[in-house]
Structure 1
């Protein structure tokens, strides 16, 4: 499992739409060969058809698709948006932090979500991630939270 390694973190990324934000998180997963391009498209299509169900906390989105849509390995990527984007969630918009989720099985999906939940359980961690200005800042926040990469 790849849990937020430096090569899967992008900070101050400019986007103009939720779809661009989802693709940015998917690009990082695809670059590290944890998903196929079909998985990235399935992430976007899930948003289009099902709405912002994956905007799980104020300012935080976790786009994903089903394992059979092209997940090759379990991983989480991270994109901090330069400017917040409205996804259409009634209480958690706008979104600044995007965690792209790839899980090769349903069991791994639950495990990686639990790990991410532990990281984001502390509201101060979310605020620190919103304020970070580079990849090293994000890595330090993850390490201070007790999460291993």
Structure 2
């Protein structure tokens, strides 16, 4: 299911200037395909400003998301991988972003569950980190779905 959502929404960049820019760049594909509005990006950044870097779910990987207050048009996921990590508050370094946008809380929980089950497996997490193309990422995810 995750690979299906990510198709066409995967990006690679050398670096970003801030964690806020990281969230914006990671969410760009969803904004451009009409899955989210600009307000959703602001809501994700606001969550970190209010609640701290709780979206850094495992070392190096952040899962930005926010409650849908009308800013998610359709459930979707995007992926951004940075060559150089960016620092979040509390000096948490992140090089991989999975942006989650869910129309409702049920879809949100399903996506978080799927992603979490992938990231707790070190072998899968390492393969994702070594991937250098959208195709490689999708192949890794399809192996475990």
Question: What TM-score does the superposition give when structure 2 sets the normalisation length?
Answer: 0.89
Report the secondary structure of 2:89's partner residue: coil
Matched, 1:128 2:130: no
Matched, 1:119 2:121: no
Q: Is the 2:23–2:64 contact (alpha carbons within 8 Å) kept by the matching residues of 1?
A: yes
Question: C-alpha root-mean-square deviation of aligned residues, in Å?
Answer: 1.7
Report the secondary structure of 1:64's partner residue: coil
Q: Is the 1:132–1:138 contact (alpha carbons within 8 Å) kept by the matching residues of 2?
A: yes
Q: Structure 2 CA distance, aligned partners of 1:12 and 1:142?
A: 20
Offset at residue 119 of structure 1 (A):
2.2
Q: Which runs of 5+ in 2 are unaligned?
A: none
1:70-110 Cα deviation digits (max 9, x unpaired): 011111110011211111246xx311110001011111111
Residue in 2 aligned with 1:85? 86
Residue in 1 aligned with 2:33? 32
Q: Which runs of 5+ in 1 are unaligned?
A: none
Q: Is the 2:15–2:85 contact (alpha carbons within 8 Å) kept by the matching residues of 1?
A: no
Q: Is the 1:12–1:133 contact (alpha carbons within 8 Å) kept by the matching residues of 2?
A: no
Q: Structure 2 CA distance, aligned partners of 1:54 and 1:135?
A: 23
Residue in 1 aligned with 2:6? 4
Residue in 1 aligned with 2:65? 64
Q: Structure 2 CA distance, aligned partners of 1:40 and 1:56?
A: 18
Residue in 1 aligned with 2:15? 14
Question: What TM-score does the superposition give when structure 1 sets the normalisation length?
Answer: 0.87
Q: Structure 1 CA distance, aligned partners of 2:110 and 2:123?
A: 23
Q: Structure 1 CA distance, aligned partners of 2:89 and 2:118?
A: 24
Matched, 1:95 2:94: yes
Offset at residue 14 of structure 1 (A):
2.2
